[in-house]
Amino acid sequence: MRGLFGKIAVVTGGLGDLGYATAQRLREEGCKVILVDVQPDTEGKATLINAFFVQVDIGNEAEVKKACEGIAAQVGDAHILVNTAACFIFKGVDATEADWAKINAVNIGGTSLVAKYIVPQMRKNGGGSIINFSSVSGFVGQSNFATYNATKFAIRGLTKCWAQDLAPDGIRVNTLCPGYIYTKAFINSCEKLGLDIEEENKRASAMHLLNRQGTVEEVAAAAAFLASDDASFITGSDLLVDGGYLAK
């Protein structure tokens, strides 16, 4: 199955819609999957797909180090890392020091810390694949989204730097950039911003050439592709799964 069978995959933000859909797709393709999330798995989502679960704050280096060591000891050295974990703070110039500290600690710092401790495992395996989730928000400016967009631009920069650094180790690093995807995070964002969910869905759909928001399954399929041998000559790239959002 495209070289994924038996591979060990770590998915951060694993209880979120995008992370969980990606984990489910990787399980279907034969991977052993570890869900990593700051929230407890109260719904038993890991059990439902026969995956492992680790609760960890990826913004805390000590927790990340312990978690990654535990993954190696209990499951094995990881071949695949999918960084979907994200903090959603949408503010412009009014963002506070606390806002910046919180979003940077997760979206940039957390992504970096998990990679720091998973990459040595990949080296032991002779290579691997890292998929960092950015967004169309990592390509364009959006009103009152400065905090979020800045981190998504940064993720693309990190990816290109890591692709150069890790190529000699046989580790590919790519960015997956979704457009608007209908998720709980989308709904929560609408509620935080005081927007009508149905109207915002129509507005968001109209932004895409395909005139709809994407599904988590479509994003998960793209992540599985980047993780697989089918993408063996792809590194340092941005894969847009945006329904034509940036083509308009």
Active site residue 117: no
Answer yes or no: is 166 within a domain. yes
Q: What percent of the chain has pLDDT over 70?
A: 100
**Collapsed DSSP state (helix, strand, coil) of residue 63:** helix
Read off the pLDDT of residues 87-114 as tens digits, 9 standing for 90 and up: 999 999 999 999 999 999 999 999 999 9
Read off the pLDDT of each residue in 211-223 and give the average, rounded to a whole number.
97
Could you tell me if residue 206 is inside a domain? no
Residue with the larger pLDDT of the pair 88 and 128: 128
Radius of gyration for the alpha carbons in the chain, expressed in angstroms and rounded: 17
How much of the chain exceeds pLDDT 90, in percent?
94
Question: Across residues 16-34, what is the average pLDDT?
Answer: 97
The pTM of this model reads: 0.95
Domain assignment present for residue 62? The answer is yes
In a domain, 198, yes or no: no
Residues whose CB is less than 8 angstroms from the CB of residue 24 and which lie 6 or more positions away in sequence, other chains included? 49, 220
Find the catalytic residue in 20, 148, 180, 245: 148
Asked whether residue 186 is assigned to any structural domain, the reply reads no
Q: What is the CATH number of the domain that holds 63?
A: 3.40.50.720
Examine residue 188 and state whether it is found in any structural domain, yes or no. no
Does residue 238 belong to any structural domain of this protein? yes
Q: Is residue 51 part of a domain?
A: yes
- When pLDDT is cut at 50, 70 and 90, the band that residue 1 belongs to is low
> What is residue 78's predicted lDDT score, i.e. its pLDDT?
98
3-state helix, strand, coil in the chain (%, to 5): 50, 15, 35
Domain extent for 234: 8-180+215-247
Query: What is the per-residue pLDDT across 175-209, written as a single tens digit (0 to 9) for each?
Result: 999 999 999 878 887 898 899 999 999 999 999 99
The pLDDT assigned to 192 comes to 82
Rounded Cα gap, residues 208 and 192, in angstroms: 23
* Rounded distance between C-alpha atoms, residue 182 and residue 170, angstroms: 34
Q: What is the pLDDT of residue 189?
A: 76
Q: How many domains does the chain have?
A: 1
Mean pLDDT, the chain, rounded, equals 96
